[in-house]
Chains A and B, each alone.
Chain A
Amino acid sequence: NAGVMQNPRHLVRRRGQEARLRCSPMKGHSHVYWYRQLPEEGLKFMVYLQKENIIDESGMPKERFSAEFPKEGPSILRIQQVVRGDSAAYFCASSPGGPGLPQHFGDGTRLSIL
């Protein structure tokens, strides 16, 4: 009964490169949420997706960031042309439905930008 799986656990990129973070939700979960935890700050909501649909992206930076949750395969958070300020822990959570159900979190991806 695997939990939410995120990979890689640690990712190092140089400024200007692309970062791809993957999230496989728990079995039976069709709702995925991405959160970001900047150093010395709390977790902030980024985006909420269901299979093949972005439901709420109000927390996503306007540029360079995108997310998808295809019909098959994991959810992907993509950051283009990374900058030092993108260094953070990125967490994915999943739930089987919408409001009222608990979100289960993965162990996160620690992104470091050189």
Chain B
Amino acid sequence: KQEVTQIPAALSVPEGENLVLNCSFTDSAIYNLQWFRQDPGKGLTSLLLIQSSQREQTSGRLNASLDKSSGRSTLYIAASQPGDSATYLCAAGEAAGNKLTFGGGTRVLVKP
């Protein structure tokens, strides 16, 4: 059974600092790894999707890496801004059907 863990659970940084969010999963037989952002009372916004055959994906200030062998993914957010404050979730997609197993999230606060 897949288990996904995100550490730390909460993170507070000053504006401009780079953010590093960690995600680990127990079963390396994933199909993909997806990172989401969730604002309070809102749904999930998809940020990046990394296929199992890929090592990383980039979009603007966001970069996500994937190391299947060690069961880890990392989301980097460069030059953080107060608008980046949110909860970030990673989710491992399984091969059969692509149902997602979510981590508990990292709650990020970027202080102006």
Please report A residues at the B interface, Cβ cutoff 8 Å.
4, 6, 33, 35, 41-45, 48, 55-56, 59, 91, 93, 95, 98-108, 110
Contact = CB atoms under 8 A, between A and B. Distances in A.
Interface of B: 31-32, 34, 36, 41-46, 49, 51, 89, 91, 93-105
Contact of B43 (A41, A91, A100, A102): A91
Give the 8 A-B residue pairs with the shortest CB-CB distance, closest first: A107-B43, A105-B44, A43-B102, A99-B98, A105-B43, A42-B104, A102-B49, A45-B99
Given A99-B96, A105-B44, 13 more contacts: A6-B43, A41-B104, A42-B89, A43-B91, A45-B101, A48-B97, A56-B96, A95-B98, A99-B93, A100-B31, A103-B34, A107-B43, A108-B43
Contacts, number: 69
A106 B32 CA distance: 20
B103 A56 contact: no
A106 B43 contact: yes
A99 B49 contact: no
A103 B91 CA distance: 11
B100 A45 contact: yes
A35 B45 CA distance: 15
Nearest to B93: A99
Contacts of B34: 102-103
Contact of A98 (B44, B97, B100): B97
B4 to A, nearest CB: 8
Contacts of A99: 31-32, 93-98
Contact of B42 (A41, A44, A48, A107): A107
A105 B89 contact: no
Contact of B46 (A33, A56, A91, A102): A102
A6 to B, nearest CB: 8
A4 B93 CA distance: 19
A91 B44 contact: yes
A48 B43 contact: no
B89 A43 contact: yes
